[in-house]
Amino acid sequence: MVSLKTAAVAGAVADEAGAATGPSPDELRLLDAYWRASNYLSVGQIYLLDNPLLREPLKREHIKPRLLGHWGTSPGLNMLYVHLNRVIKRDDLNMIYVIGPGHGGPSLVAHAYLEGTYSEFYPNISQDAEGMQRLFKQFSFPGGIPSHVAPETPGSIHEGGELGYALSHAYGAAFDNPDLIVACVVGDGEAETGPLATGWHGNKFLNPARDGCVLPILHLNGYKIANPCYLARIPRDELQKYLEGMGYKPYFVEGHEPEEVHRELAEALDTIVAEIKDIWAEARQNGNLKRPAWPMIVFRTPKGWTCPAEIDGKKCEDYWRSHQVPMGDMDKPEHIHILEQWMKSYRPEELFDENGRLRPELAALAPTGRRRMSDNPHANGGVLLRDLKMPDFRDYGVEVPSPGATTAESARVMGKFLRDVMKENLGDKNFRLFSPDENNSNRWQDVLEVTNRCYMAEIYPEDDHLSPDGRIMEVLSEHQCQGWLEGYLLTGRHGFFSCYEAFIHIIDSMFNQHAKWLKVCNEIHWRRPIASLNYFLSSHVWRQDHNGFSHQDPGFIDHVVNKKAEVVRVYLPPDANTLLSVTDHCLRSRNYVNVVVAGKQPAPQWLTMSEAVRHCAMGLGIWEWASSDRGSEPDVVMACCGDVPTLETLAAVQLLREHLPDLKVRVINVVNLMKLQPASEHPHGLSDRDFDALFTRDKPIIFAFHGYPWLIHRLTYRRTNHKNLHVRGYKEEGTTTTPFDMVVLNDLDRFHLVGDVIDRLPQLGARAAYFKQAIQAKLIEHRQYIEEHGDDMPSISGWKWGVRGTDAGKGATSTEGDNA
Amino acid sequence: MVSLKTAAVAGAVADEAGAATGPSPDELRLLDAYWRASNYLSVGQIYLLDNPLLREPLKREHIKPRLLGHWGTSPGLNMLYVHLNRVIKRDDLNMIYVIGPGHGGPSLVAHAYLEGTYSEFYPNISQDAEGMQRLFKQFSFPGGIPSHVAPETPGSIHEGGELGYALSHAYGAAFDNPDLIVACVVGDGEAETGPLATGWHGNKFLNPARDGCVLPILHLNGYKIANPCYLARIPRDELQKYLEGMGYKPYFVEGHEPEEVHRELAEALDTIVAEIKDIWAEARQNGNLKRPAWPMIVFRTPKGWTCPAEIDGKKCEDYWRSHQVPMGDMDKPEHIHILEQWMKSYRPEELFDENGRLRPELAALAPTGRRRMSDNPHANGGVLLRDLKMPDFRDYGVEVPSPGATTAESARVMGKFLRDVMKENLGDKNFRLFSPDENNSNRWQDVLEVTNRCYMAEIYPEDDHLSPDGRIMEVLSEHQCQGWLEGYLLTGRHGFFSCYEAFIHIIDSMFNQHAKWLKVCNEIHWRRPIASLNYFLSSHVWRQDHNGFSHQDPGFIDHVVNKKAEVVRVYLPPDANTLLSVTDHCLRSRNYVNVVVAGKQPAPQWLTMSEAVRHCAMGLGIWEWASSDRGSEPDVVMACCGDVPTLETLAAVQLLREHLPDLKVRVINVVNLMKLQPASEHPHGLSDRDFDALFTRDKPIIFAFHGYPWLIHRLTYRRTNHKNLHVRGYKEEGTTTTPFDMVVLNDLDRFHLVGDVIDRLPQLGARAAYFKQAIQAKLIEHRQYIEEHGDDMPSISGWKWGVRGTDAGKGATSTEGDNA
Ligand SMILES: Cc1ncc(C[n+]2csc(CCOP(=O)(O)OP(=O)(O)O)c2C)c(N)n1
Ligand SMILES: Cc1ncc(C[n+]2csc(CCOP(=O)(O)OP(=O)(O)O)c2C)c(N)n1
Ligand SMILES: [Mg+2]
Ligand SMILES: [Mg+2]
């Protein structure tokens, strides 16, 4: 078959104490046979339509017309799988397998099949020749399964299509799973990505007493799609320093000769498993919580290992050409011959019995039942998921004797509720909060009363609520927060991610992948629902006080609504009580992505608790106390969505009341953004009849929106009255300025809103001319005032609902204590 | 003033050979005075409205009402600046300063002011007491300047609001600037981000003969917003290994005592500058292109250094509390007193003369003219920008004897053109291509005929076009590609980024920041236009053959169009000749972000070169040869945008021609997406009159779109005929399947389009019933066929414009050679 260079290999293994003596030659032969079986099945999936056991000579019609998939990574993944099985079985370990290069789908499917899990989940793919034929055919085939380690693959929590998140997912899975080992393969190409490069540092947050263990395996197969990987092209000692510098103890397993690599890998794993147990024991029995140097493996083996060394005179094995389908053009008889030889080099007749079933002495190598990595319940987290214990969110409500009478910081109120959610579930160890160094900035500091921030690096006496057993995960990486949370949820737990609104775009693409995962899971009968991925976006576009233009972007929700309606939910609660109700709802929901946007600054409160509950249940509704059209048709509908736009709308309504008392104004507040979509587009969508009743069929609608105005048009373009809809929102105007100036710069302020009303009601006629001039004068006064004083006019910052004119007191706009 | 702990400090400096002997005590005193001046100005900007030199007792009214900005990072940045100035001046170095923690705006503004640049750019901010008062007031003040190192700041190419991109920008700036040193401060918080963590590895791509140098300075001030940073809390030797493992030679400069740190830093910089010169000489004179261990600095000094140790009994200096505004509540007289004492501790009277101007012996420390980091032309790249030499793109055109008669891979044709653009500019060293390991996958491999991939890690004989002087930058990090390209453009050069369409979302947030930067630059008179940021998105949603659902997302353009219309352009050329025309346009344009989406698979070609040029110039237009409404009103408008939708639309039109020959169909193709917007919204927008003429005022429009259908609605909701617009596009249905099945899954295929026409033309009546049934049967046949054969029906894959029915031959759909 293939030429294999003999490599000089030195594993740092022999000197480790306490390890088992390693596998016998017989056992090694069996392991190799199992490896060959999985390699055989991997190649078969990529190439074959039929003749699965090659019992007849291979012909063109046995081969797929379109060859799709990836071979290069698979043999390495396969060898690792076989050896992990060995230690799982021997020591009854609880282990799952996260593979970064998720294009290695053929490998994981092959193992699930060899272990029997695949046939249990998909009886049609039976463990016999017919089933094997179906297994081969279905791969990357219409009506079959995708090429990656997708939700369809038993044992997977990580699709790995978009590279970079393997370690973050692995750490998320290991948190609060004290006996779980997450073996995590990192592609050497993947290792070049940003998220992966910081993913290593998850070890600064993994507590050996409370959490399980991540076993990173850097798969140094040398190549990515069409290039070498730099970690494979730096001197060995540089690589070793890199890994040690990130706090690991690397074991190098390197070679081209399978026999030698089998032996080395087995020995390394023996040592490593013993070491992991020692670390756990040291932490759990001796209470030593010093951050250990966790073991890891550097697995340097050829890409495409065991495929033809050259094809058509071109280097293939141990080269990037083996990445996808090493050989195409299967109309060429020589190629058919090469494929046949290649597959036969695995000696299928030794591996599968006459029925096409894996021979029993090989099948006996795999663990059984839920110890199989393909059937580990942690990889189907929904089966482990338990509801959170929930305090009654109504108990945290803000007293609102009349609309606007109370001031509160919504985010802080939410934090109090989360504190008690945290408290009630401390014992269950199934709830964590995640934030890129913004937990307090986003006003969740009260949670620190019942738990700490998790930290495994050095802690100083002056440190503020840091400890190894904290449940608030703060690291300055949105990627890590997202990846950890995903890993935590996918293994059956709960969480919330708080982030600056603008910077959540950093994980746009990770959100995509998770939303796609959920969408597919909804279609797979055996995938059980998991807790929703919850975002709290604060420090939002309208109140970026210390910062400026770079921190202003409300577009994450635009991004979110492109994903399947079944999995996305967007809430913009206008005050603290609505935020509480929404928070409660998010923590109880399943299989969604919930995006909640709300501010953290002191702001007027509008609804009592019971009004808030009703309002959130409806998702949107008329605010009767603010409206003046009861019993008649409105002249204009003032709609608002988001806390700041709600404030500006109410201020505009008040101006209209004062100056145009006859005008009939209807005020509608939207808390559940998806209500605006047609019912045919989103399960929350309002019926057209209800929409028409609320927004009228023909009256002007002035819509003050938190985000980019086009989003409202995109959601409502099919509605009857869309032609009369006029939306104000963020239009990329901003800088470091006063809160009110931010809305003015974007024409979302009360004065512009009033102007919009006047412009759309010709019936107001000449009457309105004076009023319009007065509001223009106000805007000029505003600009002059802030450029002189650096703060908003007292009539603005001190404005109160129901209090006339400019005699309201000065409000608080200073936020210098923001990070205190 | 403030209490400073004495720290045990050991710089690894003394043993280095060849360094200058270090500064004299006198010089050190002057350096310290300059540092105090910059610290004074930094505090002043955050706090003071007036009384800038504290010549009268400080009162409440001298202090800003809203305190906004960040102090903590500033003293460290200031000290580094002063010392970089020293070596710049001594050795006439060409240096720019990129600071990761861009919230250190006060620091860079202070230095630009001290160097005189600020007053040159903004004469109102003069170098006297009055100017200083204005300098203070304007900071984070309405009508003034933002808090960050924004485009307004002379000398900046990096806003640093969103953390993580400092090193990528720095490397991008250093490429092809052989005498430039980019001093790059990395916050220890920032260092936790993914992009920054991989940013270090830019050194595997920096060629010491051809490129300049990046001098990373890890600012280990211990804290971020409200937490310690883990790099500051791991053992020193672990950190050292980490940095050495990434290929650097770290110099540790650590301490709390300014005097000592001044000395150490000066000595370290002397050594480092000598070392950089040695590395350059070794590469340039001796031709040694081995990757060197570039020097770097670990600068461990207290966060908020020199501010009060405690405020109100709470630790402030050397703690996270100094991050933003260390002290608020300035209505408290004690606080006013503390502020006054703090500012006076810098002894302003020693620093500024009676007019408030920096004393001459201090001013003499700074470099002059263009050597000032605040006035280095590389930081205002437009002044250095030169046009690319451009071959005539028409020479690369595909022959198209009649529409659809030729097949070509658009991306590959583009690659040939880019090859010659590359060739013509090799001498000017101002053009690079960037790709996350997808250059060949996206079909630009012909560029390898004239240049290589850049690589500074080890190169093997079997490697494919790798060399230290390559101009194709391939690294598996979308963040690095983006960051490098931005750095390269911002310093006045040209480039193109090729990426899988789905994964470009990885840099959504970086795009945001760059688009915002450009928007602001357009408003700043002295910022000169730079080359546009060009994206080529291929391997798009419709042809993800080896991959699947995770690789399908056309939503980047949705994200892009939320940014200011002046800076964004989106093109979806339907074939190779239009792609050539668009490419040429992008490479000539300035200050835009151009997004170009096109496929890489063999596909029919529609337009001759001259038709293509005309079509692209118009941006959209009727394809007369495909339409049947000439001289009359159409019954239906079939619009299309994107290569695959164009193909499906034409196939639908052909079916309509065959089966409903009387139907008058108008075919419109859109290449410039922004044409659809109203002229009031985008400079490219079509007037309503033209739009109505093209799309009619009342006929059904069936729009086949490449991306999410809602985007078309969002762009056209104001158009007269919007109510009759029916859009098909990607709706998140997909997997690994055949090319045609992808469009079928999303109802974008020819049969659905025909069905849409029938549904919207009631006048077709009973006639259409048979036809409708026939197309439904076709879809069922399709499903059965692909599930059996794994490939599209020959009548589909072999379809040709103008060739009737199913007798067309089988087309090529196999793509197994994709990575060959
Ligand atoms: C973020 C991202 N960028 C680009 C790609 C395209 N891509 C698919 S596989 C691959 C190479 C992966 O190399 P490596 O991680 O070494 O995996 P291997 O197949 O060698 O095990 C690339 C670049 C991707 N999947 N994800
Ligand atoms: C990507 C990103 N996430 C979060 C923030 C919010 N933020 C602003 S400053 C800061 C801390 C920065 O710490 P460090 O890099 O150490 O800078 P320094 O200590 O010098 O201020 C954070 C988290 C941000 N600016 N960017
Ligand atoms: Mg690899
Ligand atoms: Mg810091």
- Where does the pLDDT of residue A21 fall: very low under 50, low under 70, confident under 90, or very high at 90 and above? low
* Least confident among A272-281, B506-515, B806-815: B806-815
Q: Which ligand is nearest to the CA of A77?
A: 1
- Position B136 scores a pLDDT of 98
Tell whether ligand 1 has an atom less than 6 A from the beta carbon of residue A301. Answer: no
List of chain B residues whose C-beta atoms are within 8 Å of the C-beta of residue A143: 783, 786-787
Classify domain B621-798 by CATH architecture. Answer: 3-Layer(aba) Sandwich (3.40)
- Position B401 scores a pLDDT of 97
Per-residue pLDDT at B16 exceeds 70: no
* Interface probe, candidates B49, B486, B506, chain A, greatest A C-beta count within 10 A: B506
Per-residue pLDDT at B408 exceeds 90: yes
Per-residue pLDDT at A816 exceeds 70: no
Q: Where do the structural domains in chain B lie, given as residue ranges?
A: 34-368, 393-604, 621-798
Task: Kindly identify which residue of chain B lies nearest to residue A567, measuring between CA atoms.
Answer: B732
Nearest CA to ligand 2 atom 13: B224
Q: CATH class for domain B34-368?
A: alpha beta
* Least confident among A46-55, B13-22, B85-94, B200-209: B13-22
Nearest CA to ligand 1 atom 12: A224
**pLDDT tens readout for residues A500-511:** 999 999 999 999
> Measured between alpha carbons, how far is residue B382 from residues B179, B387, B488, B490 in Å?
19, 11, 11, 7
Chain-wide mean pLDDT for chain B? Answer: 95
> Ligand 3: distance of its center to the CA of A186 in Å?
9
Give me the mean pLDDT over the A777-781 stretch: 97
Per-residue pLDDT at B13 exceeds 60: no
List of chain A residues whose C-beta atoms are within 8 Å of the C-beta of residue B500: none
- Looking at residue A345, the DSSP 8-state letter turns out to be T
- In SS3 terms, B487-508 reads as HHHHCCCEEEEEEECHHHHHHH
- Looking at residue B42, the DSSP 8-state letter turns out to be H
- Position B805 scores a pLDDT of 59
List of chain A residues whose C-beta atoms are within 8 Å of the C-beta of residue B783: 142-143
Q: Collapsing DSSP states into helix, strand and coil, what is residue A812?
A: coil
- Residue B603 has φ and ψ, to the nearest 5°, of -150, 155
**pLDDT tens readout for residues B603-639:** 999 999 999 999 999 999 999 999 999 989 999 999 9
Residues B437, B434: Cα–Cα separation, whole Å: 9
Per-residue pLDDT at B816 exceeds 70: no
Global pTM? 0.97
**pLDDT tens readout for residues B126-182:** 999 999 999 999 999 999 999 999 999 999 999 999 999 999 999 999 999 999 999
Per-residue pLDDT at B730 exceeds 70: yes
- Where does the pLDDT of residue A631 fall: very low under 50, low under 70, confident under 90, or very high at 90 and above? confident
- Position B809 scores a pLDDT of 56
* Ranges assigned E (strand) in A147-286: 180-187, 213-219, 248-254
- How many percent of chain A have pLDDT more than 90? 93
- Where does the pLDDT of residue A768 fall: very low under 50, low under 70, confident under 90, or very high at 90 and above? confident
Q: Are B251 and B304 in contact (CB under 8 A)?
A: no
Per-residue pLDDT at A40 exceeds 80: yes
Ligand 2 mutation target, pool A434, A435, A437, most atoms within 8 A of CB:
A437
Residues B426, B415: Cα–Cα separation, whole Å: 16
Q: Which ligand is nearest to the CA of B187?
A: 2
Give me the mean pLDDT over the A88-107 stretch: 98
Other CB atoms within 10 A of residue B18 CB: 10
List of chain B residues whose C-beta atoms are within 8 Å of the C-beta of residue A720: none
Q: How many Cα neighbours within 13 Å face the side chain of A332?
A: 9
- The distance of B646 to chain A (nearest Cα, Å) reads 22
Q: Are B489 and B521 in contact (CB under 8 A)?
A: no
Q: Which alpha helices (H) appear in B139-224, and where do they start and end?
A: 166-174, 194-199
List of chain B residues whose C-beta atoms are within 8 Å of the C-beta of residue A148: 547-548, 550, 736
Q: Which residues lie below 8 Å from residue A128, measured CB to CB, with a gap of 6+? A: A355, A356, A357
Burial (CB count within 10 angstroms: exposed 0-12, middle 13-18, buried 19+), residue B15 = exposed
Tell whether ligand 1 has an atom less than 6 A from the beta carbon of residue B503. Answer: yes
List of chain B residues whose C-beta atoms are within 8 Å of the C-beta of residue A245: 238-246
- Position B768 scores a pLDDT of 86
CA B268 to chain centre: 33
Other CB atoms within 10 A of residue B290 CB: 10
- Element containing residue A703 per DSSP (H, E): strand A701-705
DSSP secondary structure of B766-803:
THHHHHHHHHHHHHHHHHHHHHHHSS--HHHHT--TT-
List of chain A residues whose C-beta atoms are within 8 Å of the C-beta of residue B312: none
Task: Kindly identify which residue of chain B lies nearest to residue A191, measuring between CA atoms.
Answer: B476
**pLDDT tens readout for residues A429-477:** 999 999 999 999 999 999 999 999 999 999 999 999 999 999 999 999 9
- How many percent of chain B have pLDDT more than 70? 95
User: Looking at ligand 2, which atom is closest to the CA of residue A438?
Assistant: 23
> Ligand 1: distance of its center to the CA of B509 in Å?
21
Nearest beta carbon to residue B550 from set A161, A789, A816: A161
Per-residue pLDDT at A78 exceeds 70: yes
- Position B14 scores a pLDDT of 39
Give me the mean pLDDT over the B774-786 stretch: 96
Per-residue pLDDT at A6 exceeds 60: no
- How many percent of chain B have pLDDT more than 90? 93
- The distance of B647 to chain A (nearest Cα, Å) reads 21
Ligand 1 mutation target, pool A224, A227, A323, most atoms within 8 A of CB:
A224
> Ligand 2: distance of its center to the CA of B161 in Å?
8
Other CB atoms within 10 A of residue B22 CB: 17
- Position A814 scores a pLDDT of 61
**pLDDT tens readout for residues A318-369:** 999 999 999 999 999 999 999 999 999 999 999 999 999 999 999 999 999 9
- Residue A637 has φ and ψ, to the nearest 5°, of -105, 125
Answer whether A466 sits within 8 Å of B722, measured CB to CB.
no
Chain-wide mean pLDDT for chain A? Answer: 95
Q: Right CATH number for B393-604 from 3.30.499.10, 3.40.50.300, 1.10.260.40, 3.40.50.970? A: 3.40.50.970
Q: Collapsing DSSP states into helix, strand and coil, what is residue B159?
A: coil
- The distance of B792 to chain A (nearest Cα, Å) reads 10
Per-residue pLDDT at B369 exceeds 60: yes
* Interface probe, candidates B200, B718, B735, chain A, greatest A C-beta count within 10 A: B735
- Where does the pLDDT of residue A765 fall: very low under 50, low under 70, confident under 90, or very high at 90 and above? confident
Give me the mean pLDDT over the B376-403 stretch: 98
- Position B803 scores a pLDDT of 87
Answer whether B66 sits within 8 Å of A790, measured CB to CB.
yes
User: Looking at ligand 1, which atom is closest to the CA of residue A225?
Assistant: 11
> Ligand 1: distance of its center to the CA of A225 in Å?
6
* Interface probe, candidates A74, A455, A732, chain B, greatest B C-beta count within 10 A: A732
Q: Which ligand is nearest to the CA of B163?
A: 2
Answer whether A476 sits within 8 Å of B193, measured CB to CB.
yes
Per-residue pLDDT at A147 exceeds 60: yes
CATH topology agreement for domains B34-368 and B621-798: yes
- The distance of A571 to chain B (nearest Cα, Å) reads 20
Task: Copy the structure tokens of residue A397.
Answer: 């409500």
* Least confident among A45-54, B344-353, B678-687: B678-687
**pLDDT tens readout for residues A251-283:** 999 999 999 999 999 999 999 999 999 999 999
Answer whether A148 sits within 8 Å of B547, measured CB to CB.
yes
Give me the mean pLDDT over the B4-27 stretch: 52
Tell whether ligand 1 has an atom less than 6 A from the beta carbon of residue A69. Answer: no
Tell whether ligand 1 has an atom less than 6 A from the beta carbon of residue A193. Answer: yes
Among residues A585, A535, A113, the alpha carbon closest in space to that of A394 is found at A585
> Ligand 1: distance of its center to the CA of A256 in Å?
22
List of chain B residues whose C-beta atoms are within 8 Å of the C-beta of residue A152: none
Answer whether B68 sits within 8 Å of A819, measured CB to CB.
no
Per-residue pLDDT at A13 exceeds 90: no
Tell whether ligand 1 has an atom less than 6 A from the beta carbon of residue A148. Answer: no
Tell whether ligand 2 has an atom less than 6 A from the beta carbon of residue B301. Answer: no
Nearest beta carbon to residue B732 from set A243, A246, A564: A564
- Position B1 scores a pLDDT of 30
List of chain A residues whose C-beta atoms are within 8 Å of the C-beta of residue B505: 508-509, 512, 559
- Position A628 scores a pLDDT of 96
- Where does the pLDDT of residue B810 fall: very low under 50, low under 70, confident under 90, or very high at 90 and above? low
Task: Kindly identify which residue of chain A lies nearest to residue B787, measuring between CA atoms.
Answer: A142
Tell whether ligand 1 has an atom less than 6 A from the beta carbon of residue A225. Answer: yes
Per-residue pLDDT at A820 exceeds 50: no
Place of tokens 């070596």: B87
- The distance of A610 to chain B (nearest Cα, Å) reads 36
- Position B431 scores a pLDDT of 98
Residues B709, B731: Cα–Cα separation, whole Å: 8
